[in-house]
Structures are given as C-alpha cells and as structure tokens.
Structure 1
Amino acid sequence: MKLIVFGATGGTGRQAVELLLAAGHEVTAVVRQPDKFEMFHERLIVIRGDVFAPSTIQSAMVGKDAVLSALGVNHRQPTTVYSEGTDHVIRAMRNAGVHRLICLSASALEIPPDTRFMPRLIIQLIVRRLFKHLYEDMERMEQNVRRSALDWTIIRPPRLTNGSRTGTYRIAVNRPMTKAKGLRGISRADLADCMVDLLNNPASYQSLIEISY
C-alpha cells in the first residue's frame, strides 16, 4: 500500500513509519523539518509539510491508499492541532479521493459508567483539568472525523509509555474497555502496532477503538 503519515516525528508516529516499512509498504512522512527526521529507507519519502498550511500537503496525498495521523502537541496550552489540523487532512483526502483514515485521540474523553470512584475522580479532577485544552480540541477533532463519511478509525489510548512492542494488548470496538483488569496504559510501540494492524480491517471502519494492556 501507499501510505502517508502525519505526526511522524512523534513517539507513536515514528514507530508507525518503521512498522509500515517493515511490512513492505511505501510510506510518505509529512514533517515540518525534514532535516531533523533521521530515517532513511528506499520506500520512504520525507516531505516538508504543515497541516496548518493545506497547500503543503495536498500534492503528497495524491495516489495514497490510506492516512495515519499521530498528530499531537507537547504542551497544555490552547491548541487546534487536532481539530483544525485533522480537518485540513480530511479535506486533502477528499480532494485526492483517499478514503481510509486512522487517527489518535485519548481514552479520557469518555468515562464509562462502571469506572470505580477513585479512578473517575482522578480523571475528572486531575487529568481532564490538567489537559483541558487538549481534550477539548480532541473532542472537536472526533466530531469532524465522524462527520467526514470517510472509512475512519479513531483510536483512544490511555496513558502512553515508552515500553517495547509486545503485540499483545486488548482492544474494544465501539464500546467502553472493560475495567475488570484496569487500564494499565499502552506503549507507543504497541499503539503504533495497533494502527498498522487496523489498516485493512473493515470491522474498524467508522469505529471508535479503545486500547490497553
């Protein structure tokens, strides 16, 4: 497949690029500073692009089979990277006739009713307040994606770690992740593994996916 990855310089995006190349795909990585993206492969194209400047990503979208978006920020200030950035990606996809999109959100956007009191309190009083602006923009992003009519998949990971790739994790499709075992987080490597694994899975189209160990 011919794939394009946004957020390729991040911890998850970079590993997604590596896994896609290992699986034999042709990959285009869109980054703002190509000279700082030190990855080389005969099936990898690195281009300078910015999701806030749609003209820089449109031509790269042509001929692609799917889009993986690991867009994110490393601060807690107000942002539109998720919503506006993804909206520009969606418009570029429509213009190029690309239908498959996998993007990342966060599990704390919804708190399942069976969540125990203390974890619920921590999410409501600490996590959602600390990352208020990020979650608000992720909610806007999810609304944009759901309205797009694309073959989209939104993955909602819990706390991310720098652990190794195991290939062993739980996922829940269009339902809350069971709290019987607790949400123990997920490594960025396994999150990338999940993104790649769902590429050709029609059961994940227009679906919300929760993931955890």
Structure 2
Amino acid sequence: MRITVFGATGRTGVPFVRRALDAGHEVVAHARTPSKLPFSDERLVVVEGDVYTGEGVAEAIAGADAVVSLLGQTGDGPDDLLTVAGDHVTGAMAEHGVTRYVTLVGAGVREAGESPSLSGKVMGTLLRLVAKEVLADAEEHVRRVRATDLEWTVVRAPRLVDGDASGYRAGDIDLGFESVARADVAAFCLDCVEDDLHVREMPKVGPA
C-alpha cells in the first residue's frame, strides 16, 4: 500500500512512518523540513512542501492508496492550520481520485448528541478556555471533512505523550484527563488504514 503522510516529521508522524515502513508499505512523507525525518528507507519518498500553502500537496498525494494527516498545532503556527491544510489535502485527493483519509484531532472535538464523561466535560470546558482557537480550528476541519465524499476517519485523541507503544483501546470510549502514547495513536491510525476501520466515523483512542 502507498500511504501519503502529512505531519510526517512530527512527534506522532515519525512513529507512524516508521511503523508503516516496518509493515512493508511504501510511504510518501510530505515535509516542510525533510531533514527532520530521522531515518531513510528505500520505500520512503520525501516530498518537500508546505501543507498550509498547498506547496507539494498534490505531488505527494498523486498515486496514493490512502492519506493520513497527523498535523498538530504549535504555539507559533497559524490558528487555522488544520482547516486550511485539510482543504488543500482533500482538494488534492479529489483531484487525484484518492478516497481513503485518516485525520487526527483532539478528543475535545465532539459529535452531535455525544455525552462525554464528567472528566471529559471538564476537559472540554478547559480547552475552550485555554485553547479556544485550536479547538475551533479542529472543529471546523472536522466539519469540512465530514461534508466530503471521502472514506474518512477522524481519530480523536487526548493529551499525547512520548514513549513506546504499549497498547490502546479505541472506538466509542470515555476519555477525560488521561494521556496516550503517540506511538499507540500511530498504531491505531495505521490499523484504520490497513483494515478499513471506522470509515466515516470519529473513534476515540486512549491507553489500554
């Protein structure tokens, strides 16, 4: 399988790329700074570009079987990163006839009618107080993705931490103040791609 990855040099992107290569897939890593990828492989193709401006996006997506977005907000990044980048990605997917899309957002993004746990409600309130723009960007990105004809999956994760994969649970689960290893999130995203899990669903992923 040929998988295009956006956010490939990030702290979740790197373990995803490594895991996908170890599984025998061909990976196209779109990166603003390719030198940040800590390894090379004969099945790894790096496309330099900027997903926020759209540079290199179509080139990276052409010929892909699936696209995975592991982009994350940073303190000095644009407030609408996920929304704008997502539009570039989904537009290029439509142009090249690629339908499978997995994108990662925070667990603070809710589905209509969803009833989070008490701790989840508290976390959601805190996010709206301290990271209002980040949450609004993720919510708008998800709204636009859901409006497409793509075979999308929106993966929702709580606070991400570094460390080795130790197993995850995913689906319609309660999440609150817990954290999950980025390596486990990477594993779940790859499982969604490989096994066509949670198509047009918004599963949550947390520690096992």
Deviations 1:72-124 (A, max 9, x none): 122187611101101100001111110000000111123953522x6533431
1:203 CA drift (Å): 4.2
SS at match of 2:45: strand
1:42 CA drift (Å): 0.8
Q: Does 1:54 align with 2:54?
A: yes
1:58 CA drift (Å): 1.0
Partner of 1:115: 117
Distance 2:120 2:19 in 1: 33
Matches for 1:82-93 after TM superposition, within 5 Å: 82-93=82-93
Distance 2:69 2:61 in 1: 13
TM-score by length of 2: 0.90
TM-score by length of 1: 0.88
Task: Between 47-56 and 133-142, report the one with greater CA deviation.
Answer: 47-56
Do 2:14 and 2:37's aligned partners in 1 also have CA atoms closer than 8 Å? no
* Equivalent residues, number: 205
1:183 CA drift (Å): 5.5
1:52 CA drift (Å): 2.4
Q: In angstroms, what is the RMSD of aligned CA positions?
A: 2.0
What are the ranges of 5 or more consecutive residues in structure 2 without an aligned counterpart? none
Do 2:164 and 2:183's aligned partners in 1 also have CA atoms closer than 8 Å? yes
Q: Does 1:171 align with 2:170?
A: yes
1:4 CA drift (Å): 0.6
> Relative to 1, partners in 2 of residues 1:119 and 1:55: Cα closer, same or farther, differing over 3 Å?
closer
Deviations 1:15-60 (A, max 9, x none): 1000000000000100011233332111101111111233522122
What are the ranges of 5 or more consecutive residues in structure 1 without an aligned counterpart? none
> Relative to 1, partners in 2 of residues 1:78 and 1:36: Cα closer, same or farther, differing over 3 Å?
closer
Q: Percent identity?
A: 33
Paired residue type of 2:190: V
Distance 1:200 1:162 in 2: 24
Distance 1:119 1:63 in 2: 39
